[in-house]
Amino acid sequence: MFPLARPRRLRASDGARRLVRETHLTPADFVQPLFVLPGKNERRPVRSMPGVFQISVDVAVKEARELRRLGVPAVILFGVPATKDATGSDAADPDGIVQRAARAIKNACPDLVVVTDLCLCEYTDHGHCGVLKGTGRAAVIDNDATLDLLGRIARVQADAGADWVAPSGMMDGAVGVIRRALDDAGRADTAILAYAAKYASAFYGPFRDAAQSAPSFGDRRSHQMDAANAREALREVALDIKEGADMVMVKPALSYLDIVRRVRDRFDVPVAAYNVSGEYAMVQAAAQKGWIDGDRVTEEILLSIKRAGADVILTYHAREMARRLA
């Protein structure tokens, strides 16, 4: 007879466990989101996201330098403009808040990858992801009018120094329009990170505090995905790749690890997953109550996202996790 198999032999010590570990986290796996707003030396806490702040451009530059020192290779910028209007004009302004932050960060940290969120919800007074047609609560997003505006915003962001633009509104045809706009403007080297499978999720609530982007009426289920659908995600990803996406994203991450795995298995492009605000806030709240070990739970969550197949993880834990891994 064969001797009894004892898998525990390889778990007997910390050294042994580390030697046979299948999935490894490094600071290079992460992208840190930053919420930028006008002003100087501003650092406003986000009530529903302990440890996350709305910050002015000068503070964002300091954060970028620290992230680079820790080995985090990228940031993604979200704007909190001073004023909002029906068409989100600050988003397309060469001197808009995200454009100012992108220029300053690239000047200070040329080797840091700057990703710019490409959506209108942070900039419109109604909080929706595009230009509206109709009036009042009967208004709906005008998909094609929104595409033209997204193309213009992409050019402005690329001119400001964005390495990647990240269309997040799930507008039909957005990636193709943005790719053509960038190429026509001589920005063929600017990459597109498409929010290709973005679900209409309740996990985004704290983000809407941070970006001040909650819709003033209705919701986003007309253009973001139904949580019940998986095959549809593969169709959405295929369309974005066909239109020119260089990388695709699944959002949220933790409740959609099956989608991350399916996308990773089906497509030969880099796959990102967004460990979103609600996922972050639940860990922080439970850790503050002493109900969980926040550091260990965070590591398990991030390992699960990478184990599912994500090449890149956008996470509010990036800075602290990089410090722990250093």
Q: Please, what are the domains in the chain?
A: 23-325 (3.20.20.70)
**For residues 240 and 194, is the Cβ–Cβ distance under 8 A?**
yes
Q: Where are the beta strands (DSSP E) in 80-228?
A: 113-118, 132-133, 140-141, 164-167, 191-198
Helix, strand counts (H, E) of the chain: 12, 12
Amino acid 212: pLDDT: 64
User: How far apart (Å, rounded) are the C-alpha atoms in residues 165 and 260?
Assistant: 21
End-to-end CA distance of the chain: 47
Amino acid 127: pLDDT: 59
Amino acid 145: pLDDT: 82
40, 62, 106, 198: which one is catalytic?
Answer: 198
**What is the DSSP-derived secondary structure letter of residue 4?**
P
Distances in whole angstroms, Cα of residue 282 to Cα of each of 178, 249, 275, 279 = 35, 22, 12, 5
Is-catalytic flag, 106?
Answer: no
Q: What is the mean pLDDT of each run of 10 residues along the chain (326 residues)?
A: 76 88 95 96 94 96 98 96 80 93 98 93 69 65 82 96 92 93 97 96 83 58 84 97 98 97 98 96 96 97 98 97 93
Q: Which of 275, 214, 267 is nearest to 238 (CA)?
A: 267
User: What is the pTM for the complete model shown?
Assistant: 0.92
**For residues 240 and 178, is the Cβ–Cβ distance under 8 A?**
no
84, 251, 289, 306: which one is catalytic?
Answer: 251
User: How far apart (Å, rounded) are the C-alpha atoms in residues 225 and 239?
Assistant: 14
Other Cβ atoms less than 10 A from the Cβ of 124: the count is 25
User: How far apart (Å, rounded) are the C-alpha atoms in residues 186 and 28?
Assistant: 29
DSSP of 198-258: EB--GGGHHHHHHHT---SSS-STTTSBPTT-SHHHHHHHHHHHHHT-SEEEEESSGGGHH
Is-catalytic flag, 84?
Answer: no
